[in-house]
Structure formats: structure tokens, C-alpha cells
Amino acid sequence: MSREQRGPNEKLGAVLALAGISNAGLARRVNDLGAQRGLTLRYDKTSVARWVSKGMVPQGAAPHLIAAAIGQKLGRPVPLHEIGLADADPAPEVGLAFPRDVGQAVRSATELYRLDLAGRRAGSGGIWQSLAGSFAVSAYATPASRWLITPADSSVAREAGPGEGSAAPLKVGHSDVQKLREAAEDARRWDSKYGGGDWRSSMVPECLRVEAAPLLLGSYSDEVGRALFGAAAELTRLAGWMAFDTGQQEAAQRYYIQALRLARAAADVPLGGYVLASMSLQATYRGFGDEGVDLAQAALERNRGLATARTMSFFRLVEARAHARAGDAQAAGAALRAAESWLERARPGDHDPTWLGFYSYDRFAADAAECYRDLKAPRQVRRFTEQALSRPTEEYVRSHGLRLVVSAVAELESGNLDAACEQGVRAVEVAGRISSARTTEYVKDLLHRLEPYGDEPRVVELRERARPLLMAPA
């Protein structure tokens, strides 16, 4: 359905010409993006001609999909006002800003928290479906550069005005901050064990909206404010990580940007580095290896002399992942050696941040295996995967499942079809116990690699075992 505007939409026509997209090409891109979110769209070149020449405005998610399609071609986010569709739906830019002013940063974060997040988790629509396909790695450029230039605000003390945020603005204390930190710790545990799509994990956005937002809009001293911003940054990063794990890349990007801004207000440089590392992993996963390298190196640069040895090891490991995805074997190898060296320097008495509790040699070995998978070195993949799987744990179920898939790929590339299928069956069993789109994607990739052996009984068995997983709603 469409509604009429006044006259031609000259802005849309101009941007289409700039991007070099034909009417038919735009229709195809919009339909494809819609299909990725379970929408059946049947736009054609005539539809686009009406949008441009007659100013017709498509309803529902279509305006955001149009912006996303053009943004993918231009390599940058495209706001609705740039294509003359600003009145189609509110809030397309929410969460993408990295304000210089602390007060504006609070408004930017709390505005993101207050969006209707239920639709993202339940698959029933909402703002995240409207923003389908709008991830753009270029949106990380300004946040990363501003954080590098000024990783800490001078003061964050705040005195709330009457009626701001709530009828009676809160006076925030350390006990309030501690509750947020405990919520973050619980969320980390549920996420690792059950996946980002589990209902217990999905309570994090609700916690941000109901608990964190009123606190950020309350009154606090500089000391309490720093701690508050740090706790909110941890929770916001977790919301981003869980969105990433469930395949909601556009939501993850917005949470990450706000988490980095909050970490800057907290004057917590290692935490800011951790957010940048999360951004790097997302960029790498999406195929932007070079940008992933930049983000990981930004985390490293500001943390020299500040972060603990284990923290620096993790940042170098993330850098190695990006180099490997970009196909630079020499740089990836150097980063892996540096990561292992930093890890060897870690001592039990080091004051490592609580959010780094997941990182051990097992995790190093698992990511090293993925590096060598991307570099097509199956012997090294097998060596590191064996180390990563040597101590399976119920605490990190998703990680165990991902490692099994990587092991299966290594066995397949080494010519061991039976071993590959055996590991694949184990991976499918683990994947069926959690809610993680990322794990499902790994399984799909394995099955794709096994297609040349589709008639083999072990492959047929694996495909049948994986069918319920692949048919489950995203």
C-alpha cells in the first residue's frame, strides 16, 4: 500500500541517480531485504517509478528498506529525510549518534532503550523489522574516532530537573549501580549458556528501559555517575551482543555505539576497548575484515599501559580474527602470537575486569582455529580446535557448539568425511539446546560445504538431524 505525497519525490530520484540504481534494481533490492525479515514484497520498476514521479509513499517497513538498499550501494547510512521519506515512520536514526555532550549522550541512549523492543525478540515487527538490513559498517567511523580523540568526559555529575525522566527524579547511589552490575553478570551467564535469543537473555533490553534509563535521567555525583555509566555501558554492550547473536545486526550496531559513548562517560578505557572489540567482531563476521582491523587496533591503541595482560591478549585476538577474514595470513599470525604472549603474562592477582571472565586459553584456541579456518589451513584448525574442545563446559554451551562446527569443517577439509559428520551431529545437538542464530548459521555453512557429498549416508543423517534446527523460526 502507498499514500500520495505532493508532487514528484525529487530527493529519491536524485539519490537513486547518485547510487547508480535503476528502478528495477531498487525494487529487487527492497524485495530481497524484506525476504530476509520474513516479509513477502512484490515491488517492481513501476512501483519505484510511482515513488519517484508521483511521490507515492510506501507503507510499513518499505521506506526503511529503501533507505537500507540505497545505503548498501553507497556504503553509508541513508536517513529517510535524504530520500524524501522522513514522514513515513519515526526514529530511523535512533542509536546511531555519538554526541559530544554528556547530556545529549544520556538522551541518545535512553531514547534507544525506549523503543519497542518486543517486536525484535518475538519476530512480530516493531522498529527493528522496519530497520531491516540497515547495518552499515561506516556508521562506526565517527564513534571510534571521537572515542580515540577523547576517551573520557571531564565531568558527568547531573542534577535532574523537575519531572525529567519520571514524576520524581531519582537520587542515584552506589546501591542502584550495583543492581545494574548484578543484572549484567546474570545476563552474561544466561547468554553463554542459552544463547542471545533465550527469553532470560532477552530481558536485558527491558532492564535497560525500566531500570537503567530512569537512573541515567536522575541526579548523581561525578563519582556515582562514572560508576553508573560504566554499568549501563556493560548492559548496553550485552544487549548489542545478544542482538548480534540472534542475527539482528542493525539493533546490535545501535547498542554498540551507545555502549561506547557510555563507556567514555564512565572514563573506563578498557571497557571502551571491549565495546570496540565487539564492534570489530561484528564487522569481521559481516565480511568487513579491514574495518574490523581498524576497530580492534583502536581498542589496542588507547589501552596500552592501561589494560591488564589478559585484556590486551583478547584485543590482539580480535585483531587476528579481522586480519584472517581480510586474508592477511602474516598479520593474523603476528597478532595471534602477540595474543598468546600477552596471555602467558597474565597472573592470578591481576585486576581483570569482570566482563573478561569468559576469556581463557580455551577461548584463545577456539578463535585461533577460526582464524586458520578463514586462512584455509586445516591442519592448524585441527590443532587449535582439539585444544579448544579439551575441556567442554556447561557454562559456555554456545561456544562449545561453535567449536564443534569449526572442528567439523577442519575434518572435512582434511578429507575425513566420517569425522566431519560425527562432529557435525554433536554440533547440531548442542545448537538445538540454545537460541542462537549465529550457531545456526555455522551449521548451515557446514551443510553447504557437505553438499558435494549429499548422497553419503552420514551426510543424509546429519542433514535430517539438522532439519528441525533449520526450520525453527529465527
CATH class as words, domain 360-474: mainly alpha
Domain ranges of the chain: 2-83, 96-122+137-159+171-267, 360-474
Is the per-residue pLDDT at 271 higher than 50?
yes
Between vectors from CA 72 to CA 67 and to CA 78, what angle results, nearest 5°?
35
Alpha-carbon span 31 to 18, nearest angstrom: 21
Q: What is the pLDDT of residue 272?
A: 98
Nearest to 322 by CA among 357, 295, 344: 295
For residues 59-87, one letter each, b for 16 or more C-beta atoms within 10 angstroms of the residue's C-beta and e for the rest, the string is ebbbbbbbbbbbbbbbeebbebebbbbee
For residues 440-459, one letter each, b for 16 or more C-beta atoms within 10 angstroms of the residue's C-beta and e for the rest, the string is bebbeebbeebeeeeeeebb
Cβ atoms 120, 273 nearer than 8 A? no
Cβ atoms 151, 302 nearer than 8 A? yes
Can you tell me whether residue 220 is helix, strand or coil? strand
pLDDT single digits (tens) 337-374: 999 999 999 998 899 999 999 999 999 999 999 999 99
Give the chain's length: 474
Is the per-residue pLDDT at 69 higher than 70?
yes
pLDDT single digits (tens) 117-161: 433 433 334 455 555 456 788 899 999 999 999 999 999 999 987
Find the helix or strand (DSSP H, E) in which 182 lies. helix 174-194
Q: What is the pLDDT of residue 199?
A: 47
Alpha-carbon span 1 to 274, nearest angstrom: 44
Q: What is the pLDDT of residue 1?
A: 44
- Rounded to two decimals, the pTM is 0.79
Quickly count: other Cβ atoms within 10 Å of residue 388's Cβ. 26
Cβ atoms 286, 320 nearer than 8 A? no
pLDDT-derived band at 457 (thresholds 50, 70, 90) equals very high
Cβ atoms 320, 335 nearer than 8 A? yes
pLDDT single digits (tens) 183-236: 999 888 887 776 655 545 568 888 998 999 999 999 999 999 999 999 999 999
Residues 429-441, mean pLDDT to the nearest whole number: 86
Residues 386-415, mean pLDDT to the nearest whole number: 85
pLDDT single digits (tens) 150-167: 999 999 999 987 655 555
Q: What is the pLDDT of residue 255?
A: 96
Q: What is the pLDDT of residue 396?
A: 78
Q: Determine whether domain 2-83 maps to CATH 1.10.3470.
A: no
Can you tell me whether residue 324 is helix, strand or coil? helix
